[in-house]
Amino acid sequence: MSLQVIKSGFLSLVQDYGRYGLQSIGVTNGGPLDEHAFLWANRLLGNDYNAPQIEVSYGAFSATFLDSTMMAICGADLSATVNDLAIKPWQSYTVHAGDTISFKAPVTGLRCYLAVKGGFTVAPTLGSCATVAREKLGGITQDGEKLVEGNLVKYFPQPHELTKRVPSSFVTGHSSEPQPSESTSQYPKKINLRFIPNTSVTSAGEEALHTFTQYPYKVTPHIDRMGYRLSGAVINTPLAGIISQGISLGSIQVPKDGQPIVLMRDRQTMGGYPLLGCIAYVDLAKFSQSLPGTELSFTPISVEAAEAELIVHKCFFGVAH
């Protein structure tokens, strides 16, 4: 009735779609960094969009299925194997009692989602089992702890069905250019991200926006579930800080050193740095998979265009809100 963790990996976390409605008391959303991959894994298995999965970051994770079921992996290629036979992401698989799945090291991307049919059975805290270490919320121990060796992550055994695969046009579905699903370049070394510019008094300013859109930026090694730090041309802003205010997912902050930070799922609910804008929600999936060194370029998008894309995305996957 469970998946037994053999090797914990660098950071393997139980995540559902996230924790909502509690930002007023300072509780962040949590949830999958790559929502696109997460939602596909649930969709392949016919699960509810919110069904809990394991987000495996960087690899070095292995676990044994104690009962047979259907499972799916989507997202990064972390050179996964089942009983030492290589398997590819974006597909569902049958597994038998005693089968061991392992994720070794990233081939492309950083985070792979492991789902089972029906979802893992994890008790929610504050309405969600999303693991947020800083807030001591979620996970199988309900206190924000990551998975460790010996943990049992419960699920209900399921009969085998035909396996399914994500259509190749959706695998890179992060971009409109179709690429073969076998391609290892699903998360390329250079990506373009669209962002909704900040037009308010908290904006880092015209000159800052100009610098940000004219020069390439690189993903630094300082990336975690709270935020991704970028490096590149120094962004000068006339504002040293702003009065702390609520912060949206994907916000691009400019701290004093002029090197932007993009705020992710586990961000603090409030922040006090000038803001360049907000990365388009649907572009955060591929961004969250980008390795240190990935080259980024940024183009403005209107909020209306981005909103339409997000509605389509949520409707496609049956997300309720």
Q: Between 22 and 107, name the residue whose CB sits nearer to other proteins.
A: 22
Contacting other proteins within 112-171 (CB under 8 A):
125-126, 134-137
Pick from 1, 10, 26, 216 the residue near other proteins by CB under 8 A: 26
Q: How far is the CB of 15 from other proteins (least distance, A)?
A: 18
Distance in angstroms (rounded) separating the CA atoms of residues 117 and 2: 12
By CB under 8 A, which span of 42-50, 109-117, 162-170, 275-283 interacts with other proteins? 275-283
Q: What does the block give as tokens for 224? A: 């975690």
Q: Is 206 in the site for other proteins (CB under 8 A)?
A: no
Q: Is 315 in the site for other proteins (CB under 8 A)?
A: yes
Cβ(155)–Cβ(145) under 8 Å?
A: no
Q: Is 321 in the site for other proteins (CB under 8 A)?
A: yes
Q: Is 270 in the site for other proteins (CB under 8 A)?
A: yes
Longest dimension (CA), the chain: 61
- Output b/e per residue, 257-276; b: 16+ Cβ within 10 A: ebbbbbbbbbbebebebbbb
DSSP of 91-157, one letter per residue? EEEEE-TT-EEEE-S-SEEEEEEEEETT------BTTB---BGGGTBBSTTSBSPPP-TT-EEE---
Pick from 81, 220, 231, 269 the residue near other proteins by CB under 8 A: 269
Q: Is 247 in the site for other proteins (CB under 8 A)?
A: yes
How many binding residues for other proteins (CB under 8 A)? 48
Instruction: Say which residues have a Cβ less than 8 Å from residue 215's Cβ, sequence separation at least 6.
Output: 232, 233
Q: How far is the CB of 280 from other proteins (least distance, A)?
A: 7
Pick from 12, 151, 181, 198 the residue near other proteins by CB under 8 A: 198
By CB under 8 A, which span of 32-40, 213-221, 285-293, 302-310 interacts with other proteins? 302-310
Distance in angstroms (rounded) separating the CA atoms of residues 100 and 202: 51
The DSSP element (H or E) to which 198 belongs, if any, is none
Q: Between 97 and 311, name the residue whose CB sits nearer to other proteins.
A: 311
Q: Between 46 and 246, name the residue whose CB sits nearer to other proteins.
A: 246
Distance in angstroms (rounded) separating the CA atoms of residues 206 and 74: 39
Cβ(275)–Cβ(250) under 8 Å?
A: no
Q: Between 171 and 282, name the residue whose CB sits nearer to other proteins.
A: 282
Q: What single letter denotes the amino acid at residue 96? A: H
By CB under 8 A, which span of 175-183, 210-218, 219-227, 276-284 interacts with other proteins? 276-284
Q: Is 200 in the site for other proteins (CB under 8 A)?
A: yes
Q: Between 228 and 281, name the residue whose CB sits nearer to other proteins.
A: 281
Phi-psi region of 10 (alpha: psi -120 to 50; beta: other; left: phi over 0): alpha
The DSSP element (H or E) to which 241 belongs, if any, is none
Q: Between 51 and 196, name the residue whose CB sits nearer to other proteins.
A: 196
Q: How far is the CB of 135 from other proteins (least distance, A)?
A: 5
Contacting positions for other proteins (CB under 8 A): 20-27, 125-126, 134-137, 196, 198-202, 242-251, 268-270, 278, 280-281, 303-304, 306-307, 309-311, 314-315, 319-321
